[in-house]
Structure 1
């Protein structure tokens, strides 16, 4: 079952947006300006702080990481600057003031929402972090980002679901026949990938690139009853799920073939 996402009604795409007033529903307003955010430690910032910063939840499914939480600042601050990080890398920033009737009505508390479309977030555990600075916004729209005490931060781990791969190989006459399958992650369609490694007792070696194909493959490998001279095949398999996440590779190893199957066999090589 597709896990529930905490989806953001507003994207953190604030740069270049002109703010006329912090209007709209309380708790969802974002602040933007043509002018860069001021970071001067002026008298207006004295006593300001981020008094509350919480993460309600964060999750990842497919190509989207989403989270939400709440914030509050102490007077005379009435707005907040938020930076969002995944594994220590800043993804986006935004400013919120939670006003319902213009800049002068910024209440100094509200909710935040984060949503980020990623293309190939690696499988497994990741860390989401939000860092917050208090802001002072006056009725004229002058904005000061206060950094007198550094940011307040909150973090939470989340998991990017990983697809899984399985592989079964066995001999069938002069061939090694393999069947692969995929499961988990964000589901089908899965794309199978194969890799072949071959080596010989004459010091030959070959490793193929990963190639996509069918769910089954056959490799020519006539059996031999002597170890020297001979060749060895190792087969590896992995899948990519519908969101582009790849599984760890699984393998079937140690199939011994007659010398000369994949490499030139020189019978005068000291045997």
Structure 2
């Protein structure tokens, strides 16, 4: 079904809700901006997509009830009533702190948003400031992800021991790690998992790896359907993912990463075993 589109590319069915969000944005005064975020902001939507908006402004201008909600949850959330259209308020300074701390998914959402009302000067300045991670931040994340992949990939053989569920779960985890590495290799954040494969495929590293990862994930049923293989590498998912793991260091070098752990991955594995991704 083709959506009935109105001004600003907003479907007509959401127009009344967007107009209310615009009025709330303007009520918050100078510096507040209304952003179209999520799948519609990134251009990944279809006619089943919901409408997700952010209001970025100053928490000091919230009403008392909103201020209490923000103090409790870190956001103010308003839904149309059917979970198909909603806006979320974030304080601009708090968002900036989260971006500096490396909140990948939220930063990706912000960078792939579109301002549709209010004063977007501050938003534009934040886009410039946070467009790319500093190299040490991206390097630490890449190192951890490579270490995690190497630490768990041995479990891809567990299906031959009568444990196909573990092999399937580990294959999915490796795929997600590789997709995230594709984004981080260009010092960009990665999105929430529902957009991760698509965002990764749009990167330079993704153009080399994503076709293999897609084959691995779409053929994962082999692990259950063909249990009596001679070696676990006969399964398409294992073969394709191991090829990606082997290829990843050379791609990272081509993209300008010249880290010792690309040749000697022991520090990367140690980082992954020590705690969560930075």
Q: Same fold (TM over 0.5)?
A: no
* TM-score of the two chains, using structure 2 as the length reference: 0.21
Higher strand fraction (1 or 2): 1
- How high is the TM-score relative to the length of structure 1? 0.22
Question: Which structure shows the bigger proportion of residues in helix conformation?
Answer: 2
> Which one has a bigger Cα radius of gyration?
1
